[in-house]
Amino acid sequence: MAFIILLLATLSAPAAPLRAVIDREVAQGWKTGKVEPAQLANDATFLRRSYLDLTGTVPTYAEARVFLDDAAKGKRAKLVDRLLTDKRHARHQMQIWDLIIFTRNPANPAFTRKRDAFKNWLEKQFAKNVPWDALVRKMILAEEAGSAMFHVQYRNRPEDETVAVSRIFLGTQLGCARCHDHPFEALTQRDFYGMAGFFVRLQVLQETKGKEKVYTIGEKSSGEVLFTGPAADAVPGKKGEPVAPKFLSGAALDEPDLPKEFKEPDYRKIKKAPYPKPFFSRKEKLAAWITAPENPYFARAAVNRVWAQFMGRGLVHPVDDLKPDSEPSHPALLDALAKEFVAHKFDLSWLMREIVLSESYQRDSAGPGTAAAPKWYERARVRPLSAEEFMAALRVATGFNVAQGLDAKMPNAAGSYMLKIFGKPTDGRGNFQGGVHEHMFLNNGSQLRSLISAKKGNLADTLLKSEAPWDERVDRLFLSTLTRIPSSAEREKLVAYITAKKDDKRVTRARLEESIWALLNSSRFRFNY
């Protein structure tokens, strides 16, 4: 009891920044798990890690140099502040959430495969650091231009949307309850269909404006989900009974009766926006309930996801398995994160800043143990670069089409190949598997070669034209690709390798390009570690 009071006292003390709470709780975990923490990561490791986590790419040579040469104290905090407002950050956050919401194989692909309008809308939200509750509210209300795509994905599939909304925004698995009462959990099939009632009346209107498809979400005033009992007992022709909408918390929706004279418009006949307003909007009630500060799932689900994004695994793991009886690895920490996130009005930038500036985030990844994401966070996690990160990192490292910035395309259709080959690098439990296909692409494809081979202004060209001693050029080579200065053995080896036939320019060029290839293929480049 005394411990709990003490804990509450510390948590409510306004003076301790969240990062101090993080470090205290994580250190407590080391004792529970009987593990030794790794040392803090050096500047170069921190630089690469925070760039990849916050902007989805690696720093340029110039950016790396400036940071590493900066002798000022507090430069890490300064860097993080800068990266959080970098436009690459908004792009990266957009890609992460777009992938969570749509996956690599979105449902309703005919409508959702092309969704630039949604991506632009989402990126704008992150660029403006729209609070998380407001962002999710907007996504569910789907009233802003471009924001409709979430519902479009689940057009006419209220059950699938129930699973998705609960999993993504509330961190809760309802998939099982769709077909049967879960044997070990409190949620029943009726809870499931109660939630589905919020989506069953949604309508999707598709209009073509120029080359673009524009979507509008409408909501009918009538229509109920039908519940037929356990899927195993289903028989053809058996009609279900209507289920009234009910929040996951158990509270039924307080809904006025439809006036007797009300006549539902024929939605099939409406070909142009806007849709008529419903007599009563369930969607609005749901959006308000989901994003309310007192919703027991919403803030926890969000902080658990953001935490996992940076720390490699959720305090509840997997991230979408929150339930009343789930046991977080660090319960007090999850409580504190959720509470402070609400207190800071769902400010994502603030939350990420606190996590990234904690010592817990800044541990080295070296050390014994083979886990990719150690449960007690004693080492930094190791994760593969996503397809998007990998492409961006290749462009930055090799200096490909630098002038085109964020929207630079990859050469020789590499983009579509890479999404296919690097898009799903894990098994069903999230473990990385280095598939042979990604190496066939890197070893044999022309795409990587054309990024590497010397062209005006790119990495190979710059190094070949430089007059600096090869020692220095190899340092630049390492900084450009791996964001670190080579060890003396590495420097020596690479200098000797590249200058094996000093006077033959073609050999030097070929060997430099082979060196770049080896660096871009190495573990240090493939992973965020």
Least distance (Å) between residue 437 CB and another protein: 6
Q: By the 8 A CB rule, do 300 and 154 touch?
A: no
Contacts 24+ apart (CB under 8 A), 336-344: 336/11, 336/18, 336/21, 336/22, 336/25, 337/18, 337/22, 337/303, 337/304, 337/307, 338/299, 338/300, 338/303, 339/11, 339/299, 340/18, 340/21, 341/132, 341/299, 341/302, 341/303, 342/293, 342/299
Residue whose CB is less far from another protein, 342 or 421:
421
Quick check: 490 binds another protein (CB under 8 A)?
Answer: yes
Closest to 217 measured CA to CA, from 328, 108, 111, 140:
140
Least distance (Å) between residue 527 CB and another protein: 6
Q: Which stretch binds another protein (CB under 8 A): 64-72, 215-223, 288-296, 434-442?
A: 434-442
Q: For the residues of 445-495, what is the DSSP string, one character each? A: -HHHHHHHS--TTSHHHHHHH--S-HHHHHHHHHHHHHSSPPPHHHHHHHH
Q: How many CB atoms lie within 10 A of CB 440?
A: 11
Closest to 402 measured CA to CA, from 57, 94, 60:
60
Residue whose CB is less far from another protein, 176 or 408:
176
- What contacts 377, CB < 8 A, 6 or more positions away? 26, 29, 311, 360, 363
Selected binder of another protein within 290, 382, 418, 512 (CB under 8 A): 382
Residue whose CB is less far from another protein, 119 or 182:
182
* Cα radius of gyration (the chain): 26
Selected binder of another protein within 231, 273, 366, 496 (CB under 8 A): 366
Tokens 């926006």: give the residue. 273
Residues in the interface with another protein (CB under 8 A) total 61
Q: Which stretch binds another protein (CB under 8 A): 60-68, 92-100, 125-133, 418-426?
A: 418-426
Instruction: Give dist(CA 212, CA 117) in Å, integer.
Output: 9
Least distance (Å) between residue 388 CB and another protein: 17
Quick check: 517 binds another protein (CB under 8 A)?
Answer: yes
- What contacts 108, CB < 8 A, 6 or more positions away? 152, 153, 154, 155, 157
Quick check: 367 binds another protein (CB under 8 A)?
Answer: yes
Strand partners, 520: none
Instruction: Give dist(CA 299, CA 288) in Å, integer.
Output: 13
Quick check: 514 binds another protein (CB under 8 A)?
Answer: yes
Residue whose CB is less far from another protein, 115 or 167:
167
Residue whose CB is less far from another protein, 85 or 426:
426
Q: By the 8 A CB rule, do 480 and 402 touch?
A: no
Least distance (Å) between residue 77 CB and another protein: 27
Quick check: 415 binds another protein (CB under 8 A)?
Answer: no
Residue whose CB is less far from another protein, 228 or 326:
326
Selected binder of another protein within 262, 426, 469, 504 (CB under 8 A): 426
Residue whose CB is less far from another protein, 85 or 433:
433
* Size (the chain), residues: 529
Residue whose CB is less far from another protein, 129 or 499:
499
Instruction: Give dist(CA 90, CA 102) in Å, integer.
Output: 18
Q: Which stretch binds another protein (CB under 8 A): 195-203, 286-294, 335-343, 425-433?
A: 425-433
Q: Provide the 8-state DSSP code for 403.
A: G
Residue whose CB is less far from another protein, 358 or 481:
481
Quick check: 510 binds another protein (CB under 8 A)?
Answer: yes
Quick check: 416 binds another protein (CB under 8 A)?
Answer: no
Q: For the residues of 370-391, what is the DSSP string, one character each? A: --SS-TT-SS---EEPPHHHHH
Q: Provide the 8-state DSSP code for 420.
A: H
> Which SS3 state, helix, strand or coil, does residue 204 take?
strand
Quick check: 441 binds another protein (CB under 8 A)?
Answer: yes
Quick check: 519 binds another protein (CB under 8 A)?
Answer: yes
Quick check: 439 binds another protein (CB under 8 A)?
Answer: yes
Selected binder of another protein within 435, 469, 471, 496 (CB under 8 A): 435
Quick check: 99 binds another protein (CB under 8 A)?
Answer: no
Quick check: 518 binds another protein (CB under 8 A)?
Answer: yes
Q: Provide the 8-state DSSP code for 278.
A: P
Contact positions with another protein (CB under 8 A) in 160-219: 160, 173, 175-176
Quick check: 245 binds another protein (CB under 8 A)?
Answer: no
At CA 385, angle to CA 473 and CA 25, rounded to 5? Answer: 105
Residue whose CB is less far from another protein, 89 or 305:
305
Quick check: 507 binds another protein (CB under 8 A)?
Answer: no
Quick check: 87 binds another protein (CB under 8 A)?
Answer: no
Residue whose CB is less far from another protein, 68 or 372:
372
Selected binder of another protein within 93, 365, 386, 458 (CB under 8 A): 365
Selected binder of another protein within 25, 320, 378, 389 (CB under 8 A): 320
Quick check: 231 binds another protein (CB under 8 A)?
Answer: no
Q: Provide the 8-state DSSP code for 404.
A: G
Q: Which stretch binds another protein (CB under 8 A): 205-213, 215-223, 291-299, 361-369?
A: 361-369
Quick check: 371 binds another protein (CB under 8 A)?
Answer: yes
Give residues in contact with another protein (CB under 8 A): 105, 107, 160, 173, 175-176, 318, 320-321, 365-372, 382-384, 417, 424-441, 443-445, 487, 489-490, 493, 497, 510-511, 514-515, 517-519, 521-524, 526-527, 529
